């Protein structure tokens, strides 16, 4: 399985749109840098969790 198969693109994009949309609705303007940081952090957590679960199942 390649690294690209484990990248959480959909989840990261969903977090980006959610954070940017929430900022836009509450403040009237979106903060893309804040949304990118949140999306990258969520993507890293999802990727680490998938890796951990995959290794756990093998044992």
> What pLDDT does 34 receive?
95
For residues 18 and 57, the answer to whether their CB atoms sit within 8 Å is no
CA distances, 46 to each of 12, 20, 27, 39, 43 (Å): 9, 19, 28, 10, 5
Tell me how far the alpha carbon of residue 52 is from its chain's centroid.
Answer: 16
- Residue range 3-56, pLDDT digits in tens: 666 788 999 999 999 999 999 999 999 999 999 999 999 999 999 998 898 888
> What pLDDT does 55 receive?
86
């Amino acid at each position: 399985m390649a690294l690209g198969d484990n990248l959480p693109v959909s989840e990261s994009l969903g977090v980006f749109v959610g954070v940017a949309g929430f900022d836009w609705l509450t403040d009237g303007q979106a903060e893309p840098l804040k949304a990118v940081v949140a999306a990258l952090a969520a993507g890293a957590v999802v990727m680490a969790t998938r890796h951990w679960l995959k290794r756990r199942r093998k044992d």
